[in-house]
C-alpha cells in the first residue's frame, strides 16, 4: 500500500535545516537507485522496495493525476533501476507491457515533462539495448530535438538533466554546491556520479536524501526563489505581507536576486522569466524599486520567453511578467510590453477549445487561467470577463474545481481569482467552492507541477489553499452581514 505524505508531514519536516519541500518522485528515486558502490553493489538497495510499492495496479508509475509523459518517464526509469539490480522481474514484466500504450497516449496531454526529448529516448534506448521488448523506432520528433540540443556546448537548461546526456563534461563538477546539490536536481547529481563515482560531496548529499521517506527522492532540492516567492505572493494577496513569515520569505527572495533576475534555486545558474517576474512582484510589494529592463532578454514581439532555448512558451511566465509590469509606473516600454503580453494571451486562448489557458509548468488549466484573471483584472475587461465566465462554467456540481477530479489545489486557484476580482457578483460560487475546499483539504493532494516528472511542492500548494480559505471566509462573512 502506498504511503501518502500529507502537507502536515512536509510543513513539519521543512522546519529542519535544508529539509526537502517537495514530495519524493519515482523518476529521481529510480535514477539515484541506479548508483553502485565501488564493488558494483547497489548504493541504495532500500530504494528498490520503495519503487516496488509505488507501482500502480496497471503496471505503471506516476502521479495520481494521470499524465502520459509523466507515466512514461517514471515507468522507464523504474524499469531501468530494477532491471539493473536484477530484482522484481514480475514487476518489470508488467511495466514493459505498458510502454506501447503510454507512447500512444502522449498525444492526449498538452505539455511535455521537462527535458522529455532528452530523457525518454535515452531511457528507451537503454532498455532496448539490454534486450527488453520496448519499441525502438519511436519519438522521431523528440529524437531530432535531442540531437539538436546536444550539438550545443553552451550552458543551457539541459544541465538540469545531466543524467540523460551522452557525455557529461567533468568540469561541471564546479557547479556542485557546498552541501552537495548539483543544479538542484538529485537525478542530475546521480548522473554525474555514474561518471565520477568518487565525488564524495555529491554522494553524501544523495545518501542523506535517500535516508528520508524510506528511500523516496524529491524531484527538486533545494528550492529557494520558487518556494519563497510563490508562498510570499499568496500571503501578500490576503494582506499578510508584513507578517514575520512573509518577511522571512521576502528576504529569501531578495537574497536570491541577481542583476539578471532569479532562478528557481540558488543552485541552478540560469535565470528564467517566471521566477524573475514573481520575485520582481514580491520585492515591489515590499517597497523596492526595480528596473523593468530585467525583462528585456525575455521579451519578443510575440510574448515573453521563459528560457532562451525553450521549445514552447510558458503562459504563466507571461502572466507573471504582466503582474510585475503592473507594479511600476507607466512608461512607453512598460506599456508596450503589457500590450505584447496581452496579445500573446489572447492568441493562446484562441487555440484552446475549452476556453481555459494551459501552462508548461502545471498540468491543470486552472493554475494559468486563475492567474490570468487576476493579472488582467481592471486592465483588459473583455479578456478578464471571458476567462472568469469560463472558470465559472467549469465549477463542478459539488462546488469544487478540477480538470480530472475536484482537488484542493485547483479549487483554491479558482477561489483566489473570484475572491480577488468579482467577490460580490460570484459570492455563491465562492461559498460552494469554499465548502468543497474544506472537504478536499484532508484528501491526498496529487502531484500536478511539471518537472522531469510531476511533483508536489507542499509548502507552495499549502500557501495557495490557505490564501483561498482566508479570502473566501472573509467574503462569506461580509455577505452574511448584509442579511443580518
Q: What's the first-to-final CA gap in the chain, in angstroms?
A: 50
What is 24-218's CATH number? 1.50.10.160
pLDDT along the chain (484 residues), means of 10: 40 51 96 96 97 97 96 98 97 98 94 95 97 94 89 75 87 87 96 93 95 94 96 98 97 97 96 98 98 97 88 93 98 98 98 95 98 98 98 98 97 98 96 98 97 97 98 84 53
Sign of the C-alpha dihedral computed for residues 190, 192, 197 and 198 taken in this order: negative
**225-482 is classed CATH 1.50.10.20:** yes
Q: Looking at the chain, which residues constitute the CATH 1.50.10.160 domain(s)?
A: 24-218
Non-local (6+) Cβ contacts of 201 within 8 A are 176, 178, 179, 180
Q: Which letter does DSSP use for residue 59 in this model?
A: S
Give the C-alpha separation, 298 to 305, whole Å: 5
Give the C-alpha separation, 238 to 220, whole Å: 28
Give the C-alpha separation, 201 to 205, whole Å: 6
Give the C-alpha separation, 36 to 41, whole Å: 5
Q: Looking at the chain, which residues constitute the CATH 1.50.10.20 domain(s)?
A: 225-482
Strand partners, 176: 182
- Contact by Cβ (8 Å): 114, 451: yes
C-alpha closest to that of 461 among 42, 1, 101, 14: 14
Per-residue model confidence (pLDDT) at position 11: 42
Per-residue model confidence (pLDDT) at position 13: 40
Non-local (6+) Cβ contacts of 176 within 8 A are 182, 189, 199, 201, 202
pTM: predicted TM-score of the whole model, two decimal places: 0.94
Give the C-alpha separation, 478 to 469, whole Å: 14
Q: ∠ CA 211-217-219 to the nearest 5 degrees?
A: 150
Give the C-alpha separation, 321 to 398, whole Å: 34
Amino acid at each position: 500500500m502506498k504511503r501518502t505524505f500529507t502537507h502536515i508531514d512536509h510543513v513539519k519536516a521543512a522546519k529542519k535545516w535544508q529539509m526537502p519541500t517537495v514530495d519524493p518522485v519515482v523518476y529521481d528515486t529510480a535514477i539515484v537507485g541506479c548508483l553502485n558502490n565501488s564493488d558494483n553493489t547497489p548504493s541504495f538497495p532500500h530504494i528498490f522496495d520503495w519503487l516496488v510499492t509505488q507501482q500502480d495496479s496497471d503496471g505503471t508509475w506516476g502521479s495520481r493525476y494521470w499524465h502520459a509523459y509523466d507515466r512514461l518517464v517514471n515507468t522507464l526509469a523504474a524499469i531501468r533501476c530494477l532491471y539493473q539490480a536484477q530484482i522484481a522481474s514480475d514487476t518489470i514484466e508488467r511495466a514493459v507491457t505498458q510502454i506501447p500504450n503510454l507512447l500512444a497516449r502522449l498525444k492526449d496531454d498538452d505539455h511535455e515533462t521537462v527535458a522529455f526529448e532528452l530523457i525518454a529516448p535515452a531511457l528507451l534506448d537503454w532498455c532496448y539495448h539490454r534486450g527488453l521488448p520496448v519499441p525502438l523506432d519511436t519519438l522521431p520528433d523528440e529524437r531530432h530535438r535531442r540531437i539538436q540540443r546536444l550539438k550545443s556546448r553552451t550552458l543551457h537548461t539541459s544541465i538540469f538533466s545531466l543524467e540523460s546526456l551522452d557525455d557529461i563534461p567533468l568540469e561541471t563538477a564546479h557547479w556542485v554546491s557546498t552541501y552537495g546539490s548539483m543544479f538542484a536536481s538529485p537525478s542530475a547529481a546521480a548522473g554525474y556520479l555514474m561518471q565520477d563515482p568518487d565525488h564524495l560531496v555529491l554522494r553524501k548529499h544523495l545518501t542523506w536524501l535517500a535516508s528520508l521517506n524510506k528511500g523516496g527522492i524529491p524531484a527538486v532540492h533545494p528550492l529557494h526563489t520558487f518556494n519563497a516567492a510563490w508562498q510570499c505572493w499568496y500571503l501578500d494577496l490576503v494582506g499578510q505581507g508584513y507578517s514575520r513569515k512573509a518577511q522571512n520569505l521576502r528576504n529569501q527572495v531578495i537574497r536570491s536576486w541577481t542583476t539578471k533576475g532569479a532562478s528557481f534555486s540558488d543552485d541552478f545558474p540560469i535565470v528564467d522569466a517566471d521566477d524573475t517576474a514573481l520575485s520582481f512582484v514580491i520585492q515591489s510589494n515590499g517597497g523596492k524599486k526595480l528596473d523593468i529592463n530585467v525583462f528585456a532578454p525575455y521579451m519578443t514581439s510575440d510574448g515573453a520567453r521563459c528560457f532562451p532555448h525553450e521549445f514552447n512558451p510558458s503562459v504563466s511566465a507571461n502572466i507573471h511578467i504582466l503582474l510585475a509590469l503592473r507594479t511600476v509606473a507607466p512608461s512607453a516600454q512598460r506599456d508596450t510590453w503589457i500590450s505584447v503580453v496581452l496579445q500573446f494571451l489572447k492568441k493562446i486562448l484562441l487555440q484552446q477549445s475549452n476556453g481555459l489557458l494551459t501552462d508548461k509548468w502545471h498540468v491543470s488549466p486552472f493554475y494559468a487561467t486563475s492567474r490570468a484573471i487576476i493579472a488582467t483584472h481592471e486592465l483588459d475587461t473583455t479578456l478578464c470577463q471571458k476567462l472568469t465566465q469560463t472558470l465559472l462554467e467549469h465549477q463542478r456540481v459539488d462546488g469544487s474545481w478540477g480538470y480530472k477530479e475536484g482537488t484542493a489545489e485547483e479549487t483554491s486557484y479558482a477561489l483566489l481569482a473570484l475572491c480577488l476580482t468579482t467577490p460580490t457578483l460570484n459570492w455563491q460560487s465562492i461559498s460552494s467552492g469554499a465548502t468543497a475546499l474544506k472537504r478536499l483539504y484532508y484528501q491526498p493532494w496529487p502531484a500536478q507541477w511539471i518537472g522531469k516528472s510531476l511533483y508536489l511542492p507542499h509548502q507552495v500548494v499549502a500557501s495557495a489553499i490557505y490564501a483561498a480559505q482566508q479570502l473566501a471566509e472573509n467574503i462569506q462573512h461580509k455577505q452574511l452581514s448584509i442579511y443580518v
